Every structure is written in C-alpha cells, then in structure tokens.
Amino acid sequence: MAGVLGHFCWRVGLLPDLSTGSAPDVPVAGAVLVGYSVALSITVNRLGLRNCWRYLAGSVVLLAAGWIVGSQFFGVDLLFLPLLLAGSLSLLFTQVNRLWSIDRQFAKTLLNSPVTNADSIVAANERLASGLKLLNTVLPLNEAVVFQCAESNTLEPVVRFKSPAPNPQDPRRNAVWREGVTLCQRAASTGKLMSETTGDSATVAVPLLHEGETAGVLLIRPGSEFSDDDIPLLEAVGSQFARNLKRESFSNNPARTQSLSYFSQTGNKRKLDALNVLKALTVEQRCEASTLAHIDDGVAIAYLDGTLALVNPGVLRFAGLTPAQALKLDLFDLLNKFRTDVFDEPEIAVRRVLQTGVAYEGELNFEQKEQILSLRISLLRDREEPIGIAVYVKDLTSTKEYEKLKSDMISLMSHELRTPLTSINGFAELLTADATVPPQAREFVSIIANESQRMSRMINTFLSVTQLERKDKQEVLKIPLRLDEVVRETIASLTPVAKKKRIRLIEQPAHRIPPVAADRSLITQAVKNLLNNAIKYSPERTTVTVSTALEAEAVRVCVEDRGYGIPAEAKERVWDKFYRVVREGQEKDEESTGLGLSFVREVVEQHGGQVELDSEEGRGSKFSFTLPRL
C-alpha cells in the first residue's frame, strides 16, 4: 500500500520534480516503489525499528547517491523522492501494524483474564450492602446511600441502608436529601469529603476514590455526632466501596470488539478499567496475605523459582531469623534452618513434592532447644496448574508433652485400678464359693464379682483403644494374613456362645481371597467384636452371616445380623468411644462398655482400611470393613 501511494503521488505530480533525466516506465517505477516498500517492511518486522535504523539510514544515503549519480552522469531519474515517500509510509504503516498487533494481544490477555472475567466477580450490590451493615456497627447510621458515577457525570443510587430503629418522621427529610445530593456532586467533583450540619443532624458525603478516580459517593446521615476521628474509617470503607463499584462497572460493560480497540477511546478506556480491576484485586490479595502475619503457626510461600514470596513472623521465630535476614534467603536457605537427622536433605523433599504433587510431612525434633516442630511442604495450584510451594510449620512441643502426660496418667490409673479390682474380684469369688455365706449375701457378692469383671474388661478395652490412638505408638506387626481364615477361626470360637442364644452362625467365604498385610491378633479381635455384637443384639432363632469378598484392590469382611437395627441418628455415633445405643422401650445395656466398635475402627484405620455400617431399624444391621490387599 505504501508503494502504491508513493507511485500515485509521483504520477499526479504531488511531489516536486527534482530530476534532470528521463523518468523510468510506469510499470517499472511501480514495481521499484512496491519492492522497496516491501523490503523495508520485512526488515522492520524481522529486526525491529530500533535494531535496523542503521540499515534504513544507509539505504537513504545510497538512494541519494544513486539519484545524484544517475541524474548527473547517466540522465536517468532514479525516483529519489517517490522512494523516500514510499519508504517512509512503509515504515509508518509497518510500525502501526506492529503496535496494533501487540495491542490486540494485550487486550485479549487483559480482558480475558480469569481475574477480570465477569463470571468470576461477585455482584457489587451484595458487597456494598454488607459494607454498610459493617459500617453501621462501628458508626451508627440513620440512613445511607451509595451513588455510582455514570458516564453522563450523573449520580445513580446503587444501594440504600436505613436504620431499623424507629425514628420520628422528619418533615425536612426530602429537602435534606436534595441538599445531600448536591453535597455528593461537590464531593465527586473535588474528590474531598464534604459535610453539613442542619440542626442536630449531620449529612456527610464521602467520595469513593480508586487510583485517583471517583467511582461514586457515599452519602450518610450518622445517628450520633460526627467528628473528625470518623474520617479515616469512612475513607478506608470508601476505598473498598470504590473497588467494588469499579469491578461491577467493568463486568456490566463488555467490550464490543477487541480488534479495533487500539483506535477506539472506549476500547482503551475499558483496558484502563481492567487494569484498575487488577489493582483492586491486588489490594484485596495483600489484605488476605497480611492475615498470615497474625497467626502463631509459621507459613512461608515460595514461587517455583525458589524466591520467597511471603514469610510470616511464625516462620521467622521458628527459624531464628530476623525480617532483614529473610530478605536474603530463598526457599532452600529457609528449609536448611530446619535440618534435623530426619529432615537432612530438603532438596529431595522439595523435588518429590514437585514431581508427585504429594505433600511432604514430618516431625522435627530439636533436642537442644527442647522443641518439636511439624513441617509440611505442599504444592500450590491454580486451576490444576502448579504456581508455588507452601511451607507450614507448627509447634508440637506442648501437644507432645500433653500426650505424654495423658499416656502416663492412663497407664498409672489403669495400674492403680487393676490392683484393687483384682483383689475385689478374687475375694468375691472366694465368698461366693463359701457355703457358710447366707444366700442373700452370696447374691450380693456375685453382683460384686460380675461388676468387677466388667470393670476389668472396660479398662482392658479402653487401654487397647488408647494405645492405638497414641501418636507415638509403635508400628503394628503386619504379616500376610488371610481374612477368610481369621473369620473361620473366630466363628469356631464363638459358636458355643451363639448356641446359648439359639443363634446360627453362617460363613460365606469367597474363593481365592488374596492376603492382606495386618496384625493377626488385632484383626482377630476386631472381627470378634463385630461378631459378639451381632450375637448380643440379635433375637433368638435368627442367623448371623459372616462373609469375605474381594472388591477391586481391597478385601471386605461383612457381619450381617437380623437384630433390632440401629436408628438413623445413631449410625455415625456408634463408632465413638463409650457410646451405646438406647432403643425406645429398652434400657441401656449396662454390660456393654461402648468401646468395642471404637476399637474396630481404630484397628481398621491403623491398617489403612475403612469401616462401614448399613442398618435399618427392625431389620438388622450390616457391619463391614475393608483392608488393602497385597
């Protein structure tokens, strides 16, 4: 196009005639002009205007020299001015096109960003209404209105607030609000807070400013006397309201086209609005990040290049660093401050987190400082894309001391309780066997013996559950174990108990059940507890079915009875310690400790499995658990 325009200007005589020789043919001249323009355009597109200005200046010098030589010695016009015009136009058009292309990419990236997308923005009306309620709790308000500045420089009400407290109708209310609107217009034009006092009431107009631009005005009538001390509060709330209005205005005015926004005042205004929205979101994100400075636990966030984006005071305290020292550190420098015999290679831990996405967790014992810390390194994601690494540090020293104290107390109490219970039970049995004891006294002694035995069983079960729950517990002894064999042995041991209640035990084993890695004694006790419960809470002349089955990568053991069933409201609580189901018209089972099912859950979860319950009142229950297969 530049070559054609240069050719046109030459042909119609718009350029001064400096030639003293013969002009070339029209087609040849057109080809030369177009070819020169294309060559300059390709050069600028490939190298950029800043990098190729030497070549451009050299081409102009060569053109001038060629024109002088050609016209003076050969009598040929080399079209110096047309080439100069075509080349200048080519440079202009090429640079404008380059800038236009970059602007289109900028607009596409900016306007289609998730943070400026209209679908991700909460309606401003709800946030403004919530803000007015918050303001009313700090500064009591009779009435308040938020105005938004429209494109026509008019103020449009967006949200209103009125105190629920009954107030006598003010005969000048309408006049006061008309004066208030005038006050708002003054505040919007000057960007400064305006206030007027009429009688006992004051009217205040607060400009809602964001990046030096007025987004609206907050008009309030305080319920108490207004003072200068309230101005910082109103300005801070006003800034938040301005950010909300800017986001709402941006989301409600979608761009018609992005391709011509470079030449459009409205399009460029929208890009400016998008930048203001990004700035507003940045301010709020700083607010969210600043909350980490007020928690006791340590939190540090690093970018994927290892640079520390945030380090809260908790991490500095645990690492023994000052804020000035932390500025010079990267992620690995920080993690090196937490090296112990367990956590001795932070690079390996970070590499595994980045490769697998699974968080690293560990307990760090600093014996010299008598401190135990919990360290967690996890991958931060945004829309499934990794964006950073988070380090979380928590002080477990007090928790560990409490757990040890709790464990010692339980052990002490269990020992102190077992000794007198053994004596009570032993002497009660002797008295029961003594023929000289009167029948009525023998009955009382028998009750004492039964209750002491029940207390012993409760202590033993409670200690078993507590031992499993301890965080510093030893690993259970896991061996390859076939659950169908455990079920068969348990049924054989409990068959006499079932026969006393005229209950039939049925085994339904599956074929080719693979083994699981488990502690034989614990799993056997768990199956025994489920089977004992089924026998205890089933009516006479019913059946209890025990089955084993392979489900995907787990083996399931299921105990199903035809008993009373469990109410819906108790299904989640039956696994809790000391909880016993109370059925309508029946008393709570005093022989039950309420620890059997809790023991089952602790054992199964310790082995990486899950427990389940399916029950219906009056139709029986189905207790089951799964363990991972080998």
List the chain domain ranges.
Answer: 2-111, 122-251, 295-395, 400-469, 479-628
Residue 545 pLDDT > 70, yes or no? Answer: yes
Average pLDDT of every residue of the chain: 81
pLDDT tops 70 at residue 19 = no
For the chain, the first-to-last Cα distance in angstroms comes to 76
pLDDT value at position 86? 84
561 has a pLDDT exceeding 50: yes
User: Which one is predicted more confidently, 540 or 273?
Assistant: 540
Q: Residue 505: what pLDDT?
A: 92
Predicted pLDDT at 177: 67
Whether the pLDDT of residue 544 is over 80: the answer is: yes
Question: Tell me: domain 295-395, CATH 3.30.390.10, correct?
Answer: no
- DSSP assignment string, 62-91: HHHHHHHHIIIII-B---HHHHHHHHHHHH
Q: What is the pLDDT of residue 464?
A: 67
- Contact, 386 vs 367, CB < 8 A? no
Cα gap 3→41, rounded to integer Å: 11
- pLDDT for 560 equals 93
**DSSP state string for 402-466:** HHHHHHHHHHHHHHHHHHHHHHHHHHHHHHHH-TTS-HHHHHHHHHHHHHHHHHHHHHHHHHHHH
- Tell me, what's the pLDDT at 472? 44
Q: What is the arithmetic mean of pLDDT over 281-308?
A: 81
pLDDT at 257: 54
The answer to whether the CB of 17 falls within 8 A of the CB of 52 is: no
In this prediction, residue 246 carries a pLDDT of: 78
**How high is the pLDDT of residue 297?**
92
For residue 341, the model assigns a pLDDT of 82
pLDDT reading at 471 higher than 50: no
Fold observed for domain 122-251: Beta-Lactamase (3.30.450)
CATH topology of domain 479-628: Heat Shock Protein 90 (3.30.565)
pLDDT band at 20 (very low <50, low <70, confident <90, very high): low
**pLDDT tens digits, residue range 110-158?**
666 655 454 444 566 788 888 888 888 888 888 889 998 877 678 888 8
Residue 98 has pLDDT above 60, yes or no: yes
Dump pLDDT digits (tens) for 505-530: 999 877 788 899 898 988 999 999 99
In the structure, what pLDDT confidence band is assigned to residue 597 with cuts at 50, 70 and 90?
A: confident
* The Cα angle at residue 526 between residues 472 and 493, in degrees rounded to 5: 140
- The arithmetic mean of pLDDT across residues 457-483, rounded, is 69
What confidence tens digit (pLDDT) does each residue in 333-354 have?
A: 999 999 988 888 888 889 889 8
| Percent of the residues in the chain that have a pLDDT greater than 70, as a whole number | 82
| For the chain, percent of residues with pLDDT exceeding 90 | 17
Architecture of the domain defined by 400-469: Orthogonal Bundle (1.10)
Q: Report pLDDT digits (tens) over 63-96.
A: 778 777 776 666 666 677 778 888 888 888 888 8
Matching fold, domains 122-251 and 295-395: yes
The letter for the amino acid at 91 is: L
Average pLDDT over residues 5-34: 74
Among candidates 596, 560, 570, 592, which has minimal Cα distance to 487?
560
Q: What is residue 392's predicted lDDT score, i.e. its pLDDT? A: 95
Question: Which tens digit of pLDDT belongs to each residue from 364-422?
Answer: 988 888 899 999 999 998 878 898 999 999 999 988 888 788 777 777 766 677 778 88
